[in-house]
Structure 1
Amino acid sequence: MSTLTVGHSKLMSTAEAIADIPSGVTLAVGGFGVCGIPHVLLTALASKNIKDLEAVSNNAGVDGRGLGLLLANGQLRRIVASYVGENREFARQYLEGELEVELTPQGTLAERLRAGGSGIGAFFTRTGVGTVVADGGMPWKYDSEGNVEVASPAKETREIRGETYVMEESIVADYALVRAAVADHSGNLRFHETARNFNPLAAMSGKICIVEAEKVVPVGELGADDIHLPGIFVHRLVELSEKEAVDKAIEKETVR
């Protein structure tokens, strides 16, 4: 096992990692439900005096955790997500005209993030053809009276091999906030199980990627085949304390 050290470690404190995030930017946020969400980074962001943020995430967090913290503070202007059913404050803000919401099919959202990180401007998919996803008219924002103020536009469609496809634009975020199980000092990352669903994709899409890692090891300790995301995508790295690393919520607790 290598104990190689490098002079360009990306490690820094949480405060340093988010210090330059201003109002009005777009954040790609990793996680699946409350699994693998960058809770420490989001908690720190909730304490900053910034607002008008746009969040791109598979879901909107839950009340009091994850993106729910930013929602509670009124820091979010817009959300692009595929599932939002676990957050009462989200529903209230959306229905009362305080929040703009772009709902996107889950696989399409994943590919939009991946494409953004891969330098692909747009792609064609069959998902959503014949629905408001392609035809437009999905309510993105209501006014205070409950009327639709902003609706989704119609998207370009194209016939490919006898089937209709809809064009989806990729997503490039100003910042990505993700959580990894293990990182090395160069930012190579390994994710744990379900946390791998959206964290690598969110990381790829961010112009500046900030990672909170439960464990940080020397370069070389992660085998090449054990790296889920190469450090080329990672700009800043925060090592969590033992207490922060084990603070993991259960979205829905079911008992017998």
Structure 2
Amino acid sequence: MISFSATPAEAVAGIPDSSTVMLGGFGHAGQPVELIEALIDGGASDLTVINNNAGNGDRGLAALIARGRVRRIICSFPRQADSWHFDRRYRAGEIELELVPQGNLAERIRAAGAGIGAFFTPTGFGTPLAEGKETRVIGGRGYVLEHPLPADYALISAQTSDTTGNLTYRKTARNFGPIMAAAARVTVVQVRSIVPVGGIDPEHVVTPSVYVDRVVLVAPQPVHRKPVQS
């Protein structure tokens, strides 16, 4: 049953050490920064994180990594100019990386939500990413067997929720949110507004409430955390 939390801290309360946590966002777009910062304050550690990249700058996922809370990250784009916290910890052997092509990452998450046991994809065939995996030639083309990526928790950001938990998103901030919501055992959502039932046109609902467990209203915050030295 869906619950509405008073604060981000309340929304992420109870996430234990060693959880697998999906974090929505494509870089900064759609990243649930306030939920991640509440997760940091809650103290959960030894986490496996599923995200498109490995953090930007010093906030959100980057801050979680900087504090040593992430044991393993599964992502498609770990290296960019401002991923210094991941880079430093990876070079020091303090964080594990599973590199997944972006399309495969999205499909593995979607497969978890759809109840698909596994699927064949040509992406990665003949490369080191296929080592140790089942391969098959279908119709003259090589394929790799990939498995779903479920999670214990998904922390995502949406634009609007109604009072039953149906969600809409703002433009490209949608990105991984809908498939992560379906693939996690518990989905926690931060939103910019909450409207009554009927306040969202049914044709505009992207994530139905059946995939949502906790919602918290988060207003835009101009305050930034002080950069972390690690």
Give the aligned residue type for 1:159: V
Match of 2:35 in 1: 41
> In the alignment, residue 228 of structure 1 is paired with which amino acid?
V
**Who is 1:74 aligned against?**
68
Is the 8 Å Cα contact of residues 163 and 194 (structure 2) preserved in structure 1? yes
Relative distance call for 1:10 and 1:87 in structure 2 (3 A) is: same
Q: What is the TM-score with the length of structure 2 in the denominator? A: 0.92
Q: Which runs of 5+ in 2 are unaligned?
A: 225-230
Q: Could you give the per-residue CA deviations for residues 133-187 of structure 1, whole angstroms, max 9, x where no partner exists?
A: 11x2xxxxxxxxxxxxxxxxx1101122221110111011000000001111111
Larger Rg: 1
Candidates 8, 13, 26, aligned match of 1:19: 13
1:121 partnered with 2:117? yes
1:95 equivalent in alignment to 2:91: yes
Instruction: Could you list the structure 1 runs, at least 4 aligned residues long, displaced by more than 6 angstroms after superposition.
Output: none
Structure 1 residues 242-253: aligned runs within 5 Å: 243-244=220-221
Letter in 1 for 2:204: D
Q: In the TM superposition, what whole-angstrom CA distance separates every residue of 1:203-241 from its partner, at most 9, and x where no partner exists?
A: 111100000001111111111111111111000000113
Give how far 1:61 is off.
1.7
Q: Distance in 1 between matches of 2:59 and 2:215?
A: 21
- In structure 1, distance between residues paired with 2:208 and 2:170: 15
- Could you tell me how far apart the structure 1 residues matched to 2:193 and 2:143 are? 43
| Cα-Cα RMSD | 1.5
The one-character-per-residue Cα deviations of 1:20-42 (angstroms, maximum 9, x if unpaired) are: 10100000110011101000000
Kindly report which structure 2 residues correspond to 1:1-256, keeping only aligned pairs within 5 A, or say none: 10-13=3-6, 14-84=8-78, 85=80, 86-134=82-130, 136=131, 154-241=132-219, 243-244=220-221
**Equivalent pair of 1:9/1:185 in contact (CA under 8 Å):** no
TM-score (norm 1): 0.83
In the alignment, residue 4 of structure 2 is paired with which amino acid? L
Q: CA deviation at 1:247?
A: 7.6
Q: Which runs of 5+ in 1 are unaligned?
A: 1-7, 137-153, 249-256
Please report how far the alpha carbon of residue 44 of structure 1 lies from its aligned counterpart in structure 2 after TM superposition: 0.6
Whether contact under 8 Å (1:30, 1:203) holds in the other structure is: no
Percent same amino acid among aligned pairs? 44
